[in-house]
């Protein structure tokens, strides 16, 4: 489900004093979903189909798949003229805006809906990521036995601690002094710097063109590690062409998908091996039964058939099922005798 963070600084922004524009903008934030514009995209005027005065650069934004009146309806704004005016103010330049990216514009119209221009800026803002990364690097450098918890929020600490626990539990995922960590396979030979771990992962993401900051990378990677994704799976993903130039959240999604595929393939291979082993056991058992019956004398065969008929009589089955019951009883008795198992 899409989400967005609401910056408390909005209380001190020029938007907060404009009640209509503020309510409509916050509603648009809640309606928006992450969306990539692969090419520069021209805007459209709010109250007509004429071309707007701004072209949105290619990149990631928030897309509201609704018309202007749809946003107004969701915001509970019944006065359409004033609502349209508020949409116009949100789409025009504002010199007093705290964020002068896009010349202070906040919400613009395109073909297909509305674009929240600063959506990804606030959505990916991580107030504690830098501190978590700093503390983790300090732990790696000094090889401390325990990470001291001071002023970071509990949830962030738990996520980071679990990420470190995975690295400590598997020595192949922790960097060794002077060389890459052993046991990670040929894939890790391409890593430079600190080797596998968060530092090595950060270096690798930069090497493949990830545009995100260390703070954002730390946040997404920690959350993925908390959910069970391993460092090794991240490095496997980053060695593929599909990871080049991607945002870290896209790399995480791709890693989860590939990890699930590997688990599924391993389960299928295990099932195939299980069936193969079972089939071989059945074949061996059948060969043993056939060999024993072929070596039996007539008297012993007659005795086995008699026991099978007695079991069929005791079962009281129909004439149709009698043949099957006798055959199973005959096989069971022959296998018992071939294995030398005492009669019950």
* Per-residue model confidence as pLDDT tens digits over 288-320: 887 777 877 777 878 888 887 887 777 777 777
Kindly indicate the confidence band of residue 344, based on its pLDDT and cuts at 50, 70 and 90: low
Sequence-separated (6 or more) residues with CB below 8 Å from residue 175 = 140, 181, 194, 195, 196, 197, 199, 200
Q: State the pLDDT at residue 71.
A: 95
Is 219's pLDDT higher than 90? no
Q: Which of 87-91, 116-120, 129-133, 201-205: highest mean pLDDT?
A: 87-91
228 compared with 24, residue with greater pLDDT: 24
Domain count of the chain?
3
One domain, residues 225 and 251 = yes
Structure tokens at 49: 């189909």
One domain, residues 139 and 182 = yes
Is 157's pLDDT higher than 80? no
Q: State the pLDDT at residue 130.
A: 62
One domain, residues 252 and 308 = no
Give the whole-angstrom CA distance, residue 169 versus residue 172: 9
Q: Which domain holds residue 167?
A: 129-261
One domain, residues 166 and 206 = yes
Sequence-separated (6 or more) residues with CB below 8 Å from residue 220 = 212, 248, 249, 252
200 compared with 44, residue with greater pLDDT: 44
One domain, residues 110 and 205 = no
Query: Of 65-79, 91-105, 151-165, which range is least confident?
Result: 151-165
Q: State the pLDDT at residue 144.
A: 41
Single out the residue in 95, 123, 151 at which a domain terminates. Answer: 123
| 274 in any annotated domain | no
Kindly indicate the confidence band of residue 5, based on its pLDDT and cuts at 50, 70 and 90: confident
pTM over 0.85: no
Q: State the pLDDT at residue 343.
A: 63
| 93 in any annotated domain | yes
Q: State the pLDDT at residue 70.
A: 94
Chain-wide mean pLDDT for the chain? 76
Residues forming a β-bridge with 64:
114
Give the whole-angstrom CA distance, residue 222 versus residue 224: 5
* Per-residue model confidence as pLDDT tens digits over 226-260: 777 888 888 888 888 888 888 888 888 888 888 88
Q: State the pLDDT at residue 133.
A: 67
Average pLDDT value for residue range 4-25: 86
| 1 in any annotated domain | no
């Amino acid at each position: 489900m899409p989400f967005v963070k609401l910056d408390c600084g909005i209380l001190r922004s020029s938007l907060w004093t404009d009640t209509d524009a503020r309510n409509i903008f916050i509603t648009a934030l809640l309606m928006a979903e992450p969306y990539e514009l692969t090419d520069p995209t021209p805007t459209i005027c709010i109250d007509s189909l004429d071309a707007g005065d701004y072209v949105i650069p290619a990149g990631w934004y928030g897309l509201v798949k609704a018309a202007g009146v749809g946003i107004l309806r969701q915001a509970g704004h019944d006065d359409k003229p004033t609502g349209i005016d508020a949409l116009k103010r949100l789409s025009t330049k504002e010199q007093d805006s705290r964020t002068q990216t896009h010349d202070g514009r906040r919400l613009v119209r395109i073909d297909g809906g509305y674009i929240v221009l600063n959506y990804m800026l606030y959505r990916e803002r991580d107030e504690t990521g830098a501190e978590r990364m700093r503390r983790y690097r300090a732990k790696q450098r000094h090889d401390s036995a325990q990470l001291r918890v001071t002023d970071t929020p509990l949830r962030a600490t738990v996520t980071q601690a679990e990420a470190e626990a995975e690295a400590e539990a598997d020595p192949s995922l922790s960097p060794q002094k002077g060389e890459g960590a052993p046991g990670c396979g040929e894939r890790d030979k391409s890593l430079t710097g600190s080797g596998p771990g968060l530092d090595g992962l950060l270096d690798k993401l930069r090497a493949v063109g990830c545009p995100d900051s260390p703070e954002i990378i730390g946040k997404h990677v920690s959350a993925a590690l908390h959910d069970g994704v391993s460092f090794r799976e991240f490095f496997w993903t980053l060695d593929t062409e599909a990871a080049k130039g991607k945002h870290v959240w896209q790399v995480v999604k791709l890693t989860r998908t590939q990890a699930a595929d590997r688990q599924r393939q391993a389960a299928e291979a295990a099932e195939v091996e299980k069936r193969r082993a079972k089939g071989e056991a059945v074949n061996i058992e059948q060969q043993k039964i056939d060999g024993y019956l072929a070596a039996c004398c007539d008297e012993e065969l007659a005795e086995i058939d008699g026991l099978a008929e007695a079991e069929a009589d005791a079962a009281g089955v129909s004439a149709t099922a009698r043949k099957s019951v006798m055959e199973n009883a005959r096989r069971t008795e022959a296998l018992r005798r071939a294995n030398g198992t005492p009669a019950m």
